[in-house]
Chains A and B, each alone.
Chain A
């Protein structure tokens, strides 16, 4: 009688283990997991798709925001993270062991809006700061109209849309506003998430902001350039430090990035001196641990990661321009190569 029960239990155990084995059997091919910034997500999704076709390595990248990318890397739940904000000293300290950053591309943060007739607007830094501070409440405010004498601006309330998650796009945008507006500097400052004025709408990720702005007449938000282009949303030209209104384009971003790049590639590209440079642009980085032997990682895994990173800053760069991001300059690519090659496993370099 007990035998019956035992038989039933063993049957169950066997069937469970068969199912589990079937699930695990397909574990053979390598899969890397990354998470973070949504700013470069369209690029990464294209790059990793191509990489999978070429090298049969699946790279699963989930856009959860730069803050999420940094946090999940620190918690070692992902192989690499993506961020548009260089990790702060505090975050680097929390990571335990050294974390490396490699830039993969440059992108522009554009101010996108939903207005009848989709006019092209010229935006001054003061206007942007005051819109996002909640000081300008209507689209026909004189501070917007003065820079756009020809545009027909409606008497429409402005709905400010910003990121709800911790975001590198927010970091680039607020860094710019901190540089150009004293009121912004004292009230909100720079950060991946800041204490936005009440009444603004929070959305998750670049896609979330773009999606909401697209649906809501009178809404204004900030997203990476490609999201605005792909969705045929209008975006403004912004007055740069040299006093010119610059439309965000690949060229204008590259122009802005014409600065000296330090060895760790930690450089800010907002409000640069370049006369034709778009003022709100920035690098986006992939982040990973320098010493790859942690949390029982196999050497195969470490090598697969290193190989992919090297590919991203060399061959992978050919996917950058078609998606309206600006590719790395020669100087930046060389530095990125050097950084990838400094990765180690058990203290020994991964590349000989």
Chain B
């Protein structure tokens, strides 16, 4: 009896500890994220005080005179990531339709799916290396053909590499939402004599639209924060870009280039940029994830 009692109470105590350990680990994540935000904010405070919201419209980034405006980097980031999206959308949607509708199973599908997964698994720095030695000469050739300054690096090159890097993300999300489209809807359309194209155009795309957009949004979040490949190919110019072939800098690449040597207000301004970057990617990610969750919950309701 005695031992039993002991184990029971011991069990209770350890149960409590076990639960506490679980809750603590969960709570740790929340604390961690809060600490990340607080650290960035605290380190950026000097720059926020100095430049405030003018930081976002200032065109000069000059550490010798200590005037900092992040507009060139905001524009650089927006240009590269939206151009990358534009390039990647046809491909990622094609892959999603291919895998989600035309070839759901079989060797072709498995091949394409694993190829896309491999593409997603290649490290960013290797994309940069590849871009440096293959994409850059190719783009330079194109630039000489059309009479642009033959830099080889710049917004266009970075967008190309970004597009390749984000295709897997939007494609795999797109595939998932397309497979969520209820079969009876599609069958109803087929039974009325619709062709596959019409089913895709009139049933699948409208139905999966919000999910596809969410996937694109998540890919955008990824493109905005991408650092290494872009740093190697963007040309690092702290000025407002003048065209799609001109060198520029994104928020992430300017941090990678200048953070090691930055002191005082320069460092604070770079962290201010990091804070903005953190904020933007957070918002984009939350919206994207929320939409996807909503889509999958709705479809599961309809199935049951």
Q: Known: A189-B64, A201-B237, A203-B236. Is A65-B150 also a contact (CB below 8 A)?
A: no
Q: Are A216 and B152 in contact (CB under 8 A)?
A: yes
Q: Are B261 and A166 in contact (CB under 8 A)?
A: yes
* A279 at interface, CB cutoff 8 A: no
Q: List residues 196-221 of chain B with CB under 8 A from any CB of chain A.
A: none
Q: Are B64 and A191 in contact (CB under 8 A)?
A: yes
Bound-state Cα–Cα, A200 to B247, Å: 7
Bound-state Cα–Cα, A194 to B65, Å: 9
Q: Are A2 and B63 in contact (CB under 8 A)?
A: no
Tell me the smallest distance from the CB of A35 to a CB of chain B, in Å: 8
Bound-state Cα–Cα, A159 to B149, Å: 8
Which residue of chain A is the closest to B235 with respect to CB atoms?
A201
Q: Known: A157-B150, A189-B64. Is A202-B236 also a contact (CB below 8 A)?
A: yes
* A107 at interface, CB cutoff 8 A: no
* A58 at interface, CB cutoff 8 A: no
Bound-state Cα–Cα, A172 to B85, Å: 42
Q: Are B14 and A68 in contact (CB under 8 A)?
A: no
Q: Mark A214-228, 1 if CB is under 8 A from B, else 0.
A: 011110000000000
Tell me the smallest distance from the CB of A199 to a CB of chain B, in Å: 7
| Residues of chain A contacted by B62 (CB below 8 angstroms) | 195
Q: Are A68 and B247 in contact (CB under 8 A)?
A: no
Q: Mark B52-79, 1 if CB is under 8 A from A, else 0.
A: 0000000010111100000000000000
| Chain B interface residue count, Cβ-Cβ cutoff 8 angstroms | 37
* A249 at interface, CB cutoff 8 A: no
- Contact of B64 (CB < 8 Å), options: A2, A94, A193: A193
Q: Mark A11-23, 1 if CB is under 8 A from B, else 0.
A: 0000000000000
Q: Mark A129-173, 1 if CB is under 8 A from B, else 0.
A: 000000000000000000000000000010100001110000000
Q: Which of B5-13, B97-105, B174-182 contacts A (4 or more CB under 8 A)?
A: B5-13
Q: Are B64 and A195 in contact (CB under 8 A)?
A: yes
Tell me the smallest distance from the CB of A198 to a CB of chain B, in Å: 4
Q: Are B7 and A216 in contact (CB under 8 A)?
A: no
Q: List residues 240-257 of chain B with CB under 8 A from any CB of chain A.
A: 240, 242, 246-247, 249, 257
- Contact of B151 (CB < 8 Å), options: A71, A164, A193, A201: A201
Chain B's interface: helix, strand, loop or mixed, by majority?
Answer: loop
- Contact of A215 (CB < 8 Å), options: B137, B239, B249: B137
Q: List residues 248-277 of chain B with CB under 8 A from any CB of chain A.
A: 249, 257-258, 260-264
Tally of A-B residue pairs with Cβ under 8 A?
A: 95
Tell me the smallest distance from the CB of A346 to a CB of chain B, in Å: 28
* B190 at interface, CB cutoff 8 A: no
Q: Are A166 and B258 in contact (CB under 8 A)?
A: yes
* B153 at interface, CB cutoff 8 A: yes
Which residue of chain B is the closest to A66 with respect to CB atoms?
B261
Q: Known: A1-B10, A159-B149, A199-B247. Is A64-B257 also a contact (CB below 8 A)?
A: no
* B279 at interface, CB cutoff 8 A: no
Q: Are B64 and A194 in contact (CB under 8 A)?
A: yes
Bound-state Cα–Cα, A216 to B141, Å: 11
Q: Are B150 and A64 in contact (CB under 8 A)?
A: no
Which residue of chain B is the closest to A137 with respect to CB atoms?
B149
* B136 at interface, CB cutoff 8 A: yes
* A293 at interface, CB cutoff 8 A: no
Bound-state Cα–Cα, A164 to B247, Å: 12
Q: List residues 129-150 of chain B with CB under 8 A from any CB of chain A.
A: 136-137, 140, 149-150
| Residues of chain A contacted by B260 (CB below 8 angstroms) | 64-65, 68, 71-72, 165
| Residues of chain B contacted by A191 (CB below 8 angstroms) | 64
- Contact of A202 (CB < 8 Å), options: B149, B150, B257: B257
Bound-state Cα–Cα, A64 to B257, Å: 10
Which residue of chain A is the closest to B264 with respect to CB atoms?
A94
Tell me the smallest distance from the CB of A88 to a CB of chain B, in Å: 11
Bound-state Cα–Cα, A165 to B255, Å: 11
Q: Are B242 and A199 in contact (CB under 8 A)?
A: yes
| Residues of chain A contacted by B239 (CB below 8 angstroms) | 198-199
| Residues of chain A contacted by B263 (CB below 8 angstroms) | 71, 74, 94
Give me 20 other A-B pairs in contact (C-beta within 8 A), A2-B10, A71-B260, A166-B261 excluded: A1-B10, A1-B14, A64-B261, A68-B260, A70-B261, A71-B262, A74-B263, A157-B150, A193-B63, A193-B64, A195-B64, A198-B246, A199-B239, A199-B246, A200-B237, A201-B153, A201-B247, A204-B257, A212-B153, A216-B152
B contact residues vs A (CB 8 Å cutoff): 7, 10-11, 13-14, 17-18, 60, 62-65, 136-137, 140, 149-153, 235-240, 242, 246-247, 249, 257-258, 260-264
The 6 closest A-B pairs by CB, nearest first: A2-B14, A202-B236, A67-B261, A68-B261, A198-B239, A164-B236
A sample of 29 inter-chain contacts (CB < 8 A) reads A1-B10, A1-B11, A2-B10, A2-B13, A2-B14, A5-B18, A69-B261, A70-B261, A71-B261, A159-B149, A159-B151, A165-B258, A194-B64, A195-B60, A195-B62, A195-B64, A195-B65, A196-B238, A198-B239, A199-B239, A199-B247, A201-B153, A201-B237, A202-B237, A202-B238, A202-B257, A216-B140, A216-B151, A218-B150
